[in-house]
Chains A and B, each alone.
Chain A
Amino acid sequence: MDFELSPAQEEIVRQVRALCARFPDEYWRDKDSSHEFPHEFHHAVAQAGYLGIAIPEQYGGSGLGITEAALLMREVAASGGAMNAASAIHLTIFGMGPVIHHGSEELKQRCLPAIARGQIHCSFAVTEPDAGNDITHIKTAARRQGDYYVINGRKVFTTKAREADKVLLLTRTTPIEEVSKKTAGMSLFLADLDREAVEVRELKKMGRHAVDTNLLFIDNLRVPATDLVGEEGRGFHYLLDGLNPERILVAAEAIGIGRAALSRAVAYAKERVVFGRPIGRNQAIAHPLADCYAKLEAAEMLTMKAAWLFDARKPCGAEANMAKLRAAEACFEACDRAVQTLGGYGYMFEYDVERYFRECRMLKIAPVSQEMVLNYISEHVLGLPRSY
């Protein structure tokens, strides 16, 4: 057993920290309050080659694993950029999996290098107003017409669509009534996000205001058949391959945000003097922070194990799910404790912990709810009967 990072992994952590240090809390505070996409940060990450961390070398990436991607995302979030920073690049880091593994050579050559360079922003449209965790019930339909598919439907919670040039779009090419298994008949496209045919309506939300979340109305979007990822009808299976890496990365992001919150809280607890002594000397302040630290460490162990399993091509569904469960929980607790430690100041925008708190709440819901993770563990790990 070896818990040590390799020298190259250590170097990635160090250099990502150095990069992120140029984008301090003030930067993120400003982007969050002005609802502005962090273009400067995105550009810096792209320039330094990190967007292509998990994209194979022959398509302009560095061909590294989910372990390295998780370290990257942890540091990006831990810098204080939290979900605003993570979500600005998250989809490029992990979302291209289906294209890499199943896309045609032509599609990969055409799109991946530009995506790795950050020249093409890509959005991810899977969830629909009436289909979330029960994803097989999506209604967005793609009909073949010669060399094109014509797509109609609605998508919700589509991240970054305002910035996106392309969208990885899950559709039904065969209606659910006509397939033998409900997971069949779905197809994935890496389509141009043509504003003529797609209306992007931004949704107002609790936090992470620098990166938009949207409702998409797709009305006769014409997509060339060459933008189809892999085979028609197998989209759901392609997407499944990407679920575990996404959970691992989200867990790493949660740990990063938890660390950011904890470090601000610890610094404050050392400095803030009440009744003639630093508040950190009170165990009512210190113990919860120590507890949060231990929980974040434990979640990190699980996350890195899941990443290691994935990169070693071993089954990691249980570990990836549990990592996301524990990390989202530990992160939420750390952010909550940080707000509590800072008291009234913790509630104020300029002390940043309230921003982490607002953003991290999302991680108990996305990309999969804590409850669905527990369902997974009950059914697939413990062998209990399925409840839904």
Chain B
Amino acid sequence: MKILVPFKRVPDPATTIRILPDGSGIATDNVKWVINPFDEIAIEEALRIKERLKTGEVVLMTIGQSNWQEQLRTGLAMGADRAKLIVTDKPLDTLTIARVIAKVVAEEQPRLVILGKQAIDDDSNQVGQMLAEILGWPQATFASKLEIEGDRCTVVREVDGGLETVAFPLPAVVTTDLRLNEPRYASLPGIMKARKKELKEIPIESLGLDLTPKLRVKELKAPPKRQAGRKVGSVQELVKLLHEEAKLI
């Protein structure tokens, strides 16, 4: 079974993020880039499905500049078979990204697309859902367990207050939650082999899509500094403050 895993490159979660003085974006000097952690879980799941079924192909893709190759190589080192880099230096909104992925899906014809439920930089949580809608495929978001039997897929979803199990026919789109698996680290032979695997660069213009963003980021602001807490004398006083001052109850 062919599985497509689209991923986004994001700043390492351990990096301290600084916002540019003019609020137009984040300072990228000294930022280490990694595969979005939820997408890394998606890569791991795709590899596990392939290993379980003992057949198939895992294809990675991302959309960005030429130097995003590095993260694709990381995925290839983990064990993916080949990769596609849709090259652009323009910022794209989520709908355009979903449309670009849909184009690659049309060409690759995978039975399953797995991706992270959201990217940890902008936390949009939209691409998987939009992609399923564009393709007209079933979708299962926030997967914490995934099973495939023949042409059917069963996913356990993490929803508010519990777990929901859904079953649907393939092809489909699945987005991953944190507890689905623990991604592997690449072996040394894996790293060496990854250098020789196919990595195709495709200019985004060749896809024939309208790339005009429908959404524009106007400004980024750091969250306000946390104020120091306050000690209260009694439960009565706490309840009174929560009611009258914080207006929470």
A residues in contact (CB < 8 Å) with B: 7-8, 10-12, 14-16, 18-19, 47-50, 52-53, 62, 64
Which residue of B is nearest A68, CB measured? B188
Chain A residues whose C-beta falls within 8 Å of the C-beta of B187 in the assembled complex: 15, 47-49
Whether B164 is near chain A, meaning CB under 8 Å from some CB there, is no
A15-B189 contact in complex given A8-B195, A10-B70, C-beta closer than 8 Å: no
- The interface bits of chain B over 177-209 (1 if a CB of A lies within 8 angstroms of the residue's CB, else 0) are 000000001111111101100000000000000
Given known contacts A7-B69, A15-B185, A19-B185, what 5 new A-B pairs fall within 8 Å (CB)? A7-B70, A7-B73, A15-B188, A15-B191, A18-B185
Chain B positions 193-237 with a Cβ under 8 Å from a chain A Cβ: 194-195
State the CA gap A52–B192 with chains docked (Å). 13
The answer on a CB contact under 8 Å between A12 and B191 is yes
How close is A337's CB to chain B, nearest CB, in angstroms?
Answer: 23
Whether B96 is near chain A, meaning CB under 8 Å from some CB there, is no
A-B contact pairs, 25 of them (CB 8 A): A7-B69, A7-B73, A7-B195, A8-B191, A8-B192, A11-B70, A11-B77, A11-B186, A11-B191, A12-B188, A12-B191, A15-B77, A15-B188, A15-B191, A16-B185, A48-B185, A48-B186, A49-B187, A49-B188, A49-B189, A49-B190, A50-B188, A53-B188, A62-B189, A64-B188
Whether B74 is near chain A, meaning CB under 8 Å from some CB there, is yes
Which residue of B is nearest A47, CB measured? B187
Chain B positions 142-166 with a Cβ under 8 Å from a chain A Cβ: none
Chain B residues whose C-beta falls within 8 Å of the C-beta of A7 in the assembled complex: 69-70, 73, 195
Chain A residues whose C-beta falls within 8 Å of the C-beta of B188 in the assembled complex: 12, 15, 48-50, 52-53, 62, 64
- The interface bits of chain B over 49-84 (1 if a CB of A lies within 8 angstroms of the residue's CB, else 0) are 000000000000000000001100110010000000
How close is A9's CB to chain B, nearest CB, in angstroms?
Answer: 10
State the CA gap A193–B74 with chains docked (Å). 40
Chain A residues whose C-beta falls within 8 Å of the C-beta of B74 in the assembled complex: 11, 14
Which residue of B is nearest A11, CB measured? B191
Q: Count contacts between A and B, CB distance < 8 Å.
A: 44
B residues in contact (CB < 8 Å) with A: 69-70, 73-74, 77, 185-192, 194-195
State the CA gap A286–B73 with chains docked (Å). 39
How close is A275's CB to chain B, nearest CB, in angstroms?
Answer: 18
How close is A6's CB to chain B, nearest CB, in angstroms?
Answer: 10
Chain A residues whose C-beta falls within 8 Å of the C-beta of B73 in the assembled complex: 7, 11
How close is A20's CB to chain B, nearest CB, in angstroms?
Answer: 9
State the CA gap A11–B189 with chains docked (Å). 12
Chain B residues whose C-beta falls within 8 Å of the C-beta of A52 in the assembled complex: 188
Chain A residues whose C-beta falls within 8 Å of the C-beta of B69 in the assembled complex: 7
State the CA gap A8–B197 with chains docked (Å). 13
How close is B68's CB to chain A, nearest CB, in angstroms?
Answer: 12
How close is A157's CB to chain B, nearest CB, in angstroms?
Answer: 30
State the CA gap A19–B183 with chains docked (Å). 11
State the CA gap A108–B139 with chains docked (Å). 54
Chain B residues whose C-beta falls within 8 Å of the C-beta of A14 in the assembled complex: 74
Which residue of B is nearest A9, CB measured? B191
Interface core residue of B69, B70, B77, B192 (most chain A CB under 10 Å): B192
- Which 7 residue pairs are nearest across A and B when measured between Cβ atoms? A18-B185, A49-B188, A48-B187, A49-B187, A15-B186, A19-B185, A49-B189
State the CA gap A50–B70 with chains docked (Å). 21
Which residue of B is nearest A63, CB measured? B192
Chain B residues whose C-beta falls within 8 Å of the C-beta of A8 in the assembled complex: 191-192, 195
State the CA gap A251–B76 with chains docked (Å). 32
State the CA gap A7–B191 with chains docked (Å). 10
Chain A residues whose C-beta falls within 8 Å of the C-beta of B70 in the assembled complex: 7, 10-11
Chain B residues whose C-beta falls within 8 Å of the C-beta of A18 in the assembled complex: 185-186
Chain B residues whose C-beta falls within 8 Å of the C-beta of A48 in the assembled complex: 185-188
